[in-house]
Amino acid sequence: MTGVLPVTLEEATKTVQALLHSGKEYICVMKLHGDATEKRVGEVLKEFEDTIYQRPPLRASVKRQLRTRRIYYIDFLEKEKRNVLFKVGCEGGTYIRKLCYDIGEVLGCGAHMQELRRTRAGPFIENGDIVRLHDVAYWFMEWQQKKDERMLRKFIQPMENALTLIPKIYVRDSAVDAVCHGASLTAPGVVSIEGGVSKGSLVAVLTLKGEAVALARAVVATERVLNMEHGIVARVERVLMPRGTYPKAWRSGET
């Protein structure tokens, strides 16, 4: 497989939790084991849009149990002999190899995945701000020689970019250090909250400057937070900002 692969460094590795289940997009070449018309292939592809059941393949690194995954769209692009090119947008954790196998079963001729390219992983897209490995090697060598941090910024992005698609809660400066110590986020510390936050959803806690503080699990939905004066809004799961970055504004035992 080729294409987009987000790589995290140091403290930013904690943002992987936000990327694991984010949406993906692939361009796939599927090899049919028998003959099928373009019209029939296109019809069968559309049958797989929406929620599907999958059991991970034998070579998968996860437990082989039946699970559901969402196919947001699957578009037929072209067909040459028994090679079918299609684009698919899907929920993270979808096995395209298994998808090709299932499509072949429905077609009645069998099929397997021939080639696969990931064109999007969460907020990162192939035609966006991505770099190739030889670019990384070049700019890193430049940094080693010149010790100019601008060279590193050529291929290293802020970890906040990985949180682009996650609903966000912005907090007061006085609440930041408490959250960095693992305290639950309470209503008085919230300045604003984006729409779309539901109970149990993963949210990003940010400072007023847009700096990532933590990943948290929402306890209440957006509508309730807007009317809350007290109570817990979200429980911290992963702290992203080092303690002491913002001044301490709480007393021990208050968290």
- Give the pLDDT of residue 111: 96
**Is 153 inside a domain boundary?**
no
pTM: 0.84
**Is 58 inside a domain boundary?**
yes
Query: Domain end: 97, 125, 153, which one?
Result: 125
- The total of structural domains in the chain comes to 2
Residue 254 banded pLDDT, cuts 50, 70, 90: very low
Asked whether residue 121 falls in the same domain as residue 180, the answer is no
- For 156-183, what is the mean pLDDT? 93
The full DSSP string for 132-188 is -HHHHHHHHHHHHHH--HHHHTTT---GGGGGTTS-EEEE-HHHHHHHHTTPPEEGG
Query: Residue 205's domain spans which residues?
Result: 166-239
pLDDT in tens, 21-65: 789 999 999 999 999 999 999 999 999 999 999 987 777 767 778
- For 206-217, what is the mean pLDDT? 95
**Is 137 inside a domain boundary?**
no
Of the candidate ranges 85-89, 141-145, 174-178, 247-251, the one whose mean pLDDT is the lowest: 247-251
Q: What CATH number does residue 108 fall under?
A: 3.30.70.3190
Residues near 136 by beta carbon (within 8 Å), at least 6 away in sequence: 155
**Is 28 inside a domain boundary?**
yes
**Is 61 inside a domain boundary?**
yes
Residue 163 banded pLDDT, cuts 50, 70, 90: very high
**Is 88 inside a domain boundary?**
yes
Q: Are strands 111-121 and 50-54 parallel, antiparallel or unpaired?
A: unpaired
Q: What CATH number does residue 184 fall under?
A: 2.30.130.10
**Is 62 inside a domain boundary?**
yes
pLDDT in tens, 114-148: 999 999 999 999 887 788 889 899 999 999 999 88
